[in-house]
Chains A and B, each alone.
Chain A
Amino acid sequence: MSRLDILNLSKSFGALQVTDNVTLTVEPGEVHAIIGPNGAGKTTLVAQLSGQLKPDAGTVALDGRDITRLSMPDRVRAGLARSFQITQVLPSFTVLENVALAVQARKGSSFRFFAPVATEAALNDAAMRVLDGSGLTERADVPARALSHGEHRHLELALALATDPRVLLLDEPLAGVGGAEADAFVDRLRAMKGRMTMLLIEHDMDAVFALADRVSVLVNGAIIATGAPEDVRSDPQVRAAYLGEEEEAPAC
């Protein structure tokens, strides 16, 4: 089981400090949730951890190895995958082709020019196993652009899982998913618990309290509290900065 160490990470967009000296360890096998109001800098933090954005200062280490300078693809190969708050799929590929491509990235060379990839059983079978877990089996041959929003969110998660990560960064996996569909999604995430280390960004408090072992609160780019879910929930500073606001604005 892998560990993610974030040390003194900082990032500014012009005058706006979006990541303010963040230090945090995601312990092996834990689900660590990060909550915080809109614009707190959660997505920007995930972007820096995944290698999409360069931090101004600080380091990121996977199992003690400094990965701060690795590109996004290299981090994925090292076992660090992410999902996106705004779904990123290959719209004209079928669901199966999307996932099979994620499998292909870690199975052999992609500098193969002659053999047809569509009939590679090793890729398709591994992809189907991931789809089974996502409830997308029936939709395997549908182009990704034809999926509903909820199905898109499942495919987004399936793509990250298909890379076989040891540490998974989830940026609001439940974004836009509601009601019974959200419950099913939480069950799906719960089933993944213990199989990999997870950093979970989520607005849905029910989901956070159902899944997280520990919770950190991010406000204006800085972590103001970390602890067990119940402790964080009752922390007066947190209530003032975040949870109170949430009650006033239940929309998000």
Chain B
Amino acid sequence: MTDATAPTPRTAAPAVAPRVKVAMILFAAFALFPLLAFALDDPFLIVIGTRILAYAIAAMALDLILGYGAMVSFGHAAYLGFGTYAVAILSSYGVTDIFAQTLFAVAISAVFAFVTGAISLRTKGVYFIMITLAFGQMAFFFFISLSAYGGDDGYGLSGRSTVLGSNMLENDTTLYYATLVALIALFVLCHRIVASRFGRVLTGIRENPTRMESIGFPPFRYQLTAFVISGCITAVAGVLLANQAQFVSPAFMSWHRSGELIVMVVLGGIGTLSGAIGGAVAALLLEEVLGMMTEHWRLWFGIFLVLMVLFSPRGLTGLFEQIRGRRE
């Protein structure tokens, strides 16, 4: 018998702490990044930076189900689309407040994720991937046929969202920092979730669903809940992207985009949250840099990805931890 007087303050996942540190370093770098843009006198960098931060939110949301729940959703761009179109549709009706738009985007996404998730989770493995892809494509074609908002051609926004009546987001730097605040807040949320009772159940189902059932957990309801949370967070990224681009189009929800989100998560290292953020940064920066150097940048990006997967299956996180482990 252990003595009850000495409760064991066990830190269950010692691997978490260093990864939080990685996220904090990334956030600090993001916070300082606008200084670089000013120093180089290149305001376009801020625009790219905002895009990267918004995708980091989406990649992190996908990691929540892909990395922690072993649910490979190939239709997550749909939620980016719901977020962007929520901005376009509500502002066309004069509702420009970003919180109202976000609420609308999250509500639509929750319903869509609940219904499609409930159906998709009846399947496993490659079938799950295919069925989420099919639902993503359905959303894509729905918005293509939405002629009131430009259909295929997309729809330009007359301005950015307002914050409690203020149009402060019209300033690119303010929008950048607003996106950073959203990223940090959602990281804290996701981090709390994975370390909670719910997170432990979700991770347990990833590890061994049979064992989870045999100790009393029905996987479906936990997986579906995670799926809905992930969709809702991705929608927030969509709201921010619409503001960054001031333009919405079905291209935000094409299956290529879903694939890019998966690439970001895998590149960064699945099941780490901070890895997904790093993966989004790496993927989008590479796209920009390689894109400047050659028009065949996709080829080089592909080669890079193959090398990463071959030599560091745990992505940038794995690479980083290996280097750090060697130094210690």
- Tell me the A residues contacting B by CB distance below 8 Å: 50, 52, 71-74, 76-77, 81-82, 84, 88-94, 96-97, 100-102, 104-106, 108-121, 124-125, 128-129, 132, 137, 140-141, 159-160, 162-163
Contacts and interface: CB of A to CB of B under 8 A. Distances in A.
Interface in B1-55: 1-2, 4, 7-13
Contacts of A89: 208, 211
B226 to A, nearest CB: 10
A92 B213 CA distance: 18
A110 B211 contact: no
A113 B193 contact: yes
5 contacts: A90-B212, A91-B208, A96-B12, A120-B197, A160-B214
A114 B10 contact: no
A137 B10 CA distance: 13
Contact of B207 (A74, A93, A105, A110): A93
Contacts of B322: none
B215 interface: yes
A113 B198 contact: yes
A141 B10 contact: yes
B195 interface: yes
Contacts of A141: 10
Contacts of B250: none
A101 B12 CA distance: 12
A106 B1 CA distance: 22
A117 B197 contact: yes
Interface in B70-127: none
Nearest to B225: A111
A90 B211 CA distance: 8
B177 interface: no
A114 B211 contact: no
B61 interface: no
A121 B197 CA distance: 13
A118 B10 contact: yes
A113 B10 contact: no
Identify the 3 closest CB pairs spanning chains A and B, nearest first.
A118-B12, A105-B216, A76-B216
B196 A105 contact: no
A132 B1 contact: yes
A72 B214 contact: yes
A125 B8 contact: yes
A90 B204 contact: yes
B12 A113 contact: no
B197 A105 contact: no
A112 B198 contact: yes
B141 interface: no
A99 to B, nearest CB: 9
A111 B213 contact: no
B196 A113 contact: yes
A90 B210 CA distance: 10
Given A74-B218, A104-B197, A110-B197, 11 more contacts: A90-B211, A92-B207, A93-B204, A97-B200, A108-B197, A110-B200, A110-B222, A118-B11, A118-B12, A119-B9, A125-B4
B272 to A, nearest CB: 13
A73 B222 contact: no
B316 to A, nearest CB: 20
B208 A90 contact: yes
Contacts of A140: 10
A124 B8 contact: yes
B215 A163 contact: yes
B197 A76 contact: no
Contacts of A84: 210, 214
Contact of B217 (A52, A73, A137): A73
Given A113-B196, A116-B195, A118-B13, A88 B222 contact: no
A73 to B, nearest CB: 4
Contact of B7 (A116, A121, A162): A121
A101 B215 contact: yes
Contacts of B216: 73, 76-77, 102, 105-106, 163
A145 to B, nearest CB: 10
A114 to B, nearest CB: 5
Q: Which of B192, B195, B204, B214 has the most CB of A within 10 A?
A: B214
Contacts of B1: 129, 132
Contacts of B198: 110-113
A117 B12 contact: yes
B54 to A, nearest CB: 23
B317 to A, nearest CB: 15
Q: Which of B7, B199, B211 has the most CB of A within 10 A?
A: B211
B68 to A, nearest CB: 11
Contact of A117 (B2, B200, B213, B218): B200
Contacts of A90: 203-204, 207-208, 211-212
A113 B8 contact: no
Contacts of B199: 113, 117
A112 B215 contact: no
A76 B214 contact: yes
A97 B8 contact: no
A236 to B, nearest CB: 38
